[in-house]
Amino acid sequence: MKQIYFDNNATTPVAPEVFDAMLPYLTEYYGNPSSMHTFGGQLHKKVEEARFKVAELIGAEPEEIIFTSCGTESDNTALMNAVEVSGGKRHIVTTRVEHPAVMNFAKHLARKSYRSTFLPVDSLGSLDMQAFAKALDDDTAIVSIMYANNETGVIFPIAAMGAILRERGIIFHSDAVQAAGKIPINVKELPVDMLSLSGHKIHASKGIGALYVRKGTRFYPYVIGGHQERGRRAGTENVASIIGLGKACELAKGDIKNESKYLSGLRDKLEKALLKNCPDARINGDIQNRLPNTTNISFEYIEGEAILLRLDEQGVCASSGSACSSGSLEPSHVLRAMGVPFNLIHGSIRFSLSRYNTEAEVDKVIDIMPALIKDLRALSPFGKQK
Ligand code: PLP
């Protein structure tokens, strides 16, 4: 049975072009870019070419890009940096819907005598701008707010928030792990100081990420050791993955507009059919302001896990909540923050698409879902049976 993979916000397949670009640097050219000999030293140029491509995806300068091991490391580094360089300020502002890479690091800092504010969102998952402005004070070291949410796809008003923060001289970080490569980002026009990216969400390999740090932003390294990354992130470079990330960014930038249109077309077809053919279903999140590849749908009176298992039996991969929190039956913190009722949170499914998904795959899921939902409702312990 061929898998239908609709879980691309959890991770994506490595693009064939990325794999081809990486392979020689795992087998033939396995040197260390810091070595004096030509065999290793020649790789330095390749790493710099990749840095250029990553920078291009977001309109940055190459020297503003630091390679990291993943999106989580980029996020942790951004927060840690801000509290290191902001002259004793101890307040962190973030939201209640962040990925754990930011949320749990902000909680960690709060246990170490820092102060963390977690901003609320409304029922559509959008930020309350009044609460945002009110939360800032003279002790605020950093505001860290995601570009787009991994569970709902909802996009945040980064430009508007950045303008306020720039005026107040507060460091602004955005976790763009889900947004980069899916929607255009141009840091030349965007008042952010730091931005996180992750390779495996955009068809590069796992274990590679990047942190954009605007020129002029004070920076203190989080991973301390050797001189790599101009002293900003120690550790021998993951050369093959860096080259792969460069290729993935080049591919993403190449066709971002058409790809976005293609993905939203598939997503909308899927969503429309599911809402029409499955009673008591509703979309979670602001449908006017979302990533093109993501839909989060609640099916009342059934457990999301039961839907996932049935889909899995038919070769369809989706997700309930974020992949990082699956495995626990904790209801999604994102949907909870949006005030989604518990029965709808438990019945929520996220479908997230990529350029490798086809209309035939969408049609297959449209075909199987209504009977699957009806069947599960007939077995439902939640009272109302459809
Ligand atoms: N931030 C967001 C919004 C994410 O969706 C993820 C992964 O799901 C991360 C950060 C963590 O990225 P990584 O898996 O590369 O550590």
| CATH number of the domain encompassing residue 234 | 3.40.640.10
Task: Among 67, 72, 103, 211, name the best residue to mutate to test ligand 1's pocket (greatest count of ligand atoms within 8 A of Cβ).
Answer: 72
Using CB atoms within 10 Å of the CB of residue 19, give its burial: 0 to 12 exposed, 13 to 18 middle, 19+ buried: middle
Q: Are residues 224 and 352 in the same domain?
A: no
Q: Within a 10 A sphere around the Cβ of 379, how many other Cβ atoms?
A: 9
Tokens of 263: 């993905």
- Is 180 close to ligand 1, i.e. is its CB under 6 Å away? no
- Is 251 close to ligand 1, i.e. is its CB under 6 Å away? no
- Among residues 214, 238, 254, the one where a domain terminates is 254
- Among residues 237, 254, 271, the one where a domain terminates is 254
E strand or H helix that includes residue 295: strand 294-299
Q: Which atom of ligand 1 is nearest to the CA of 323?
A: 8
Q: Are residues 194 and 210 in the same domain?
A: yes
- What does the DSSP 8-state code read for residue 121? B
Q: Which atom of ligand 1 is nearest to the CA of 149?
A: 3
Report the distance separating Cα 345 and Cα 116, nearest Å. 26
- Contacts of residues 258-261 at CB distance under 8 Å and 24 or more positions apart, as own/partner, are 259/355, 260/182, 260/183, 260/292, 261/292
Q: Within a 10 A sphere around the Cβ of 123, how many other Cβ atoms?
A: 12
- Among residues 205, 236, 254, the one where a domain terminates is 254
| 383 within some domain | no
Q: Are residues 345 and 294 in the same domain?
A: yes
Q: Are residues 55 and 177 in the same domain?
A: yes
The amino acid present at 276, given as its one-letter code, is: K
- Is 99 close to ligand 1, i.e. is its CB under 6 Å away? yes
Q: How many domains does the chain have?
A: 2
| 385 within some domain | no
| 384 within some domain | no
pLDDT of 255: 85
Nearest to 197, CA basis, from 294, 21, 70, 353? 70
Q: Model's pTM, two decimal places? A: 0.96
Domain extent at residue 280: 4-12+256-378
Name, in order, each residue with C-beta under 8 angstroms of 227's C-beta and a sequence gap of 6 or more: 34, 234
Ranges of the chain with pLDDT below 50:
322-325, 386
The per-residue DSSP string of 18-62 comes to HHHHHTHHHHT----TT-SSHHHHTHHHHHHHHHHHHHHHHT--G
Q: Are residues 170 and 268 in the same domain?
A: no
**Catalytic annotation on 317?**
no
Using alpha carbons only, give the angle 89, 92, 95 rounded to the nearest 5 degrees. Answer: 165
| 107 within some domain | yes
Q: What is the CATH number of the domain that holds 363?
A: 3.90.1150.10
Q: Are residues 243 and 264 in the same domain?
A: no
User: How close is the Cα of 378 to the center of ligand 1, in Å?
Assistant: 36
- Is 71 close to ligand 1, i.e. is its CB under 6 Å away? yes
| 58 within some domain | yes
Q: Are residues 58 and 199 in the same domain?
A: yes
Tokens 């939201």 correspond to 95
pLDDT of 329: 64
Q: Are residues 175 and 271 in the same domain?
A: no
Q: Are residues 23 and 133 in the same domain?
A: yes
pLDDT of 121: 96
- Is 126 close to ligand 1, i.e. is its CB under 6 Å away? no
| 8 within some domain | yes
User: How close is the Cα of 208 to the center of ligand 1, in Å?
Assistant: 11
- Is 331 close to ligand 1, i.e. is its CB under 6 Å away? no
User: How close is the Cα of 229 to the center of ligand 1, in Å?
Assistant: 22
pLDDT of 320: 87
Report the distance separating Cα 5 and Cα 356, nearest Å. 9
User: How close is the Cα of 323 to the center of ligand 1, in Å?
Assistant: 10
| 386 within some domain | no
Q: Are residues 34 and 85 in the same domain?
A: yes
| 323 within some domain | yes
Q: Are residues 55 and 154 in the same domain?
A: yes
User: How close is the Cα of 209 to the center of ligand 1, in Å?
Assistant: 10
pLDDT of 321: 57
Report the distance separating Cα 237 and Cα 34, nearest Å. 9
Q: Are residues 82 and 217 in the same domain?
A: yes
